[in-house]
Every structure is written in structure tokens, then in C-alpha cells.
Amino acid sequence: MRITDVRVVSKGLRIGPVLVEVETDEGITGVGSTSASVSVISALIEDESDGLRSLLIGTDPTDVNMAWRRMFASGNRGRSGEGGVGVNAMGAIDMALWDIAGKAAGLPIHKLRGGAVQDRIMVYASATAFDRGHMERTGEWRHNPTEVLVKEALENKSLGFKAMKFGWGNYFSESDYDDIEAVRDAVGPDMKLMLDLGPLAYLDGTWTVKDAVQVAERLAEYDIYFLEEALHPYDVDGFEELTLQSPIRIATGESLTTVRDFQPFIDRRALDIVQPDAQQMGLSQFARVAERAEEGGILCIPHGPWSAFLVAAHIQVLCTVTNCPMIEYPAPAVERGSGREGLVDAMHEKVIETPVVVKDGYLELPDGPGLGLGNFAYEAIDELTARFGGDVRQ
């Protein structure tokens, strides 16, 4: 079996995922996804002179490790180091190759990895505490009122979610703690709550580890399960200090793109939770991060709230390790006000033949070959493009 083409199949869709398909001469195709700019990903993969596609045509798609080495050595990863959008493009191809390997063997990816140790994993609903639509239209941050936060939390609880996270996106003032208290009172003590501080704090040079520690200490009053991205994602020293002092779990990792990025955090136990994202790095690197975290006694709770492609990829790996208590999942409320309400559901229903199944707050392990999602109706992407408009990241 040989690769005959590598192409981006979602060039017009307004938001992610960017879908990449790898075709073979035996008619088996694989699909991977990334969340980077579709125009940049298309150029990195399809450029006729030095695109990643030209490196892979004619090669064996089941030689996944060799494909990664070939792509990584090409320089398409960018000249700024190991990270960046080049790795995003390589990661989407890597995911598609794993999909092909599973389909060729007639096995789900987790079987290729030695089999599952758990057949379902709890999902947490991913929501935002700020008005996403207003931010995307104006670039200005605006907090949602308390009643909206409480409504979204109760909505997620009614859907069967046993945990949820708010992307907070700013500093904390006293009114923010009042909001968190209101949400905690509304959902009760049994629902896990998490907070994603986001970049607006750490991009300010006045934000310090002490500020993050103070926030963590206050959040402990409301039984917050973890605090995400409280510092710059590459600040290993800062995260080590914060993790030692914090009374709640500290998490980061969505911006890191290779196992080498995560290794210092794992070696120094500078985090309680690593948050790799397979759309950032592909399944091969993602699996290595999860395994090394398991060996180091660190939890792995992946980042990635946007698509069934991603959560399917995540569970194929994470069901084979023992350190993943939950997976991020796109809750309906995460899209509200953004102009893309219904896109996640539409992708599940119209593009994917066998959507992922969430039952009683748990993601069930797909048992079909490859990613376990079946075939893909790419023609439906044209319909979604017409409905949701062109890609704002082009």
C-alpha cells in the first residue's frame, strides 16, 4: 500500500477543525485534524515545490514513525524550533496515518497500541465565562453576567456532564469569585468545576507566580478541581513554584507541540496535570506525552474542545493508559454568541458516519477500525461552509 495524495478537505469552513485526508492506492483513506489556520496548513502540505505531500507520495502509510522523521527533518516545521504551525500540519498527517493503519488492519487504534485498560472515560463540558461572540467581532473582552454562567452550568449538568470548565480569560476580582460561588451553589458539591485562566493574565508583565498562587488559594474555597494556564505555558520554573504552593491542581500544555516541550515539566513535576492536544502534535507525540506523564505520576487530561475528530483520537490513546480521569468535550454552550451555534453538532451528524457516543457523562470507546468514525461525507462540508461562512483565520 502506498500514499497517492495528501490534501486539506475543509478549506472553506469558517472554524476548525482543519481536516486533512491521506489517500492510498488500495482505496483506504485516513483523516486527521488540526486547529491552525487552514490557509497556512494548506500551503505547508500542498505546496508543489516543498510541501509535506511531496515527501510522502509513494511511501507506505503504515510506516508512521518514518513518516514523522521524514517530515520533521524537512524543515517544514519552521525555523523557530520544534514547535509552531509546521508541527500542527505534520500532526494532522500523523493522525491520518494512524487512521489508515487501523483501517488496514481492521482494528481500532487502541488495539494497535496493545489494547484498552478502560472502555470509557468521563468527559467534561468546556464553556467560556466571557462573551466569545463579542470578542471575535470586536477583539474586546467582556464577561458574561452571573445568570448566564449559572444557566450554562445547569444546562451542562442537565445534559449529564459531571464536570465542566469555564474559560475565564482574565484576572480575578472579587466579583469573579462571587460568580464562581454562584455556579458552585447552583450545581452542588458533586460536580467537578475547573477554571482556565487563559492568556490575558500572563501576557501582562505585572502578573507573577504570587498572583497565581493567590488565585489558586481562593479557588480552593470553591473546590475547583484544577486551574489551567495560570502562567506562560513555557515557564517551567514558575509552574514548578506554583504547583508546590497551590492547594489545587495546576494544569497546562495546550500550547506545547512535542514531547520535548513537556519533558521538563514531567521531570521536575512542575505540573499536576499535562494537557496535550493531538490537533497540535499528532497522535504519535500525544501518546508519548501521555505515557511519560503516567510514568512520572502526573495526570493527563487533554486539551481540545472543538470536534468529534479530536475526542475520538484522544480516547483511542488515553484508554490505553491509567492516568486520564477525563477528556475535554465541546459542550453546546461553548459556541453560543459566536455565530457558529450548531457547528459541532452539524459536524457530528453530517460529516461523520459513526459519531462518538457520550452516555451518562462518559465517552464510550469507539470499536470501529482506525479512529472508529467510519467514512466521511466531505460533500457535507460545502453545506456547512455555506451555512457558517468562510474561514476567519485565512
Give the three-state DSSP class for 130: strand
Same structural domain, 156 and 278: yes
Quote the CA–CA distance of 111 and 317 in Å, as a whole number: 10
pLDDT digits (tens, 9 = 90+) for 356-374: 888 999 999 999 999 999 8
pLDDT digits (tens, 9 = 90+) for 188-242: 999 999 999 887 667 778 889 999 999 999 999 999 999 999 999 999 999 999 9
Same structural domain, 89 and 146: no
Same structural domain, 185 and 240: yes
Same structural domain, 125 and 98: no
pTM confidence score: 0.92
| Alpha-carbon dihedral angle through residues 211, 228, 244, 213, given to the nearest 10 degrees | 20
Give the CATH number for residue 268. 3.20.20.120
Same structural domain, 256 and 350: yes
Domain coverage including residue 31: 3-107
Same structural domain, 213 and 306: yes
The whole-number pLDDT of residue 14 equals 52
* CA-angle at 96, arms to 298 and 45, nearest 5°: 110
Choosing from 83, 107, 131, the residue where a domain stops is: 107
Give the three-state DSSP class for 172: coil
Label the pairing between strands 192-196 and 18-24: unpaired
Cα–Cα separations (whole angstroms), residue 249 to 122, 150, 272, 274: 18, 23, 6, 11
Number of separate domains in the chain: 2
Residue 114 lies in a domain: no
Give the CATH number for residue 100. 3.30.390.10
Same structural domain, 51 and 124: no
Same structural domain, 133 and 50: no
pLDDT digits (tens, 9 = 90+) for 93-141: 999 999 999 999 999 999 999 999 999 999 999 887 777 666 667 767 7
